[in-house]
Copies of this chain bind each other. A is one copy, B any other.
Amino acid sequence: MKNRIITISRQFGSGGRTIGKLAAEALNIPCYDREIIEQIAEKSGFAKEYVAEHGEYSDTGGWLSNAFGDSYLLGGRSNQDLIWEAQCKTINEIADKGPCVIVGRCADYVLKDRVDCLRVYIYADLKKRVNRIVTQYGKLMDSPEKRVMEKDKRRAAYYRIYTDQKFGEAENFDVALNSGTLGIEKCADIIAQLYQHIAD
């Protein structure tokens, strides 16, 4: 059987991870999220927390801090570059293993040449995402709005650096779902349906 992969790109706080887990459960296939960080950490030698921070988020300063702020290692590659390489390798290995859901980590881009991917984007308006973060994690900071916007910005910058594309551009996906208006469960349901439709 040909592998079938679902990649889920998501805005911070949109519930993309939960949606991925629910869709994977419905389809009885594994969902990779934090597991990818562990595998990358193992491959690259960096600590898990460091990988989590530098494998999906650019430094706030954008390209300047990327150019000058990181310690340069092998062949002029920064730590972030080394993590990116380990990340691409891990994602390809996971995809080769069999059908699964992969959440985040630019998997849509890493696997862009595979025809057996359903590429999903999950988003919601800022207010709904802030509410979700506060409900799930409690109000840990003074301005959760600011935190969500900063995460968005850094994730988009990271995506731009390594894929040379704009994060969240509809053209890079098969389906984009607004979890704020459609609801988490319905999004998971649509994804599972489309996966089965494409697998037909």
Contact = CB atoms under 8 A, between A and B. Distances in A.
Interface in A174-196: 174-178, 181-183, 186, 190, 193-194
Given A186-B197, A194-B186, A170 B171 contact: no
Contact of A178 (B125, B174, B193): B174
Majority secondary structure, A binding face: mixed
Interface residues of A, number: 22
A121 interface: yes
A30 interface: no
Interface of A: 121, 123, 125, 168-171, 173-178, 181-183, 186, 190, 193-194, 197-198
8 contacts: A170-B176, A171-B178, A174-B177, A174-B178, A175-B182, A181-B198, A182-B198, A190-B194
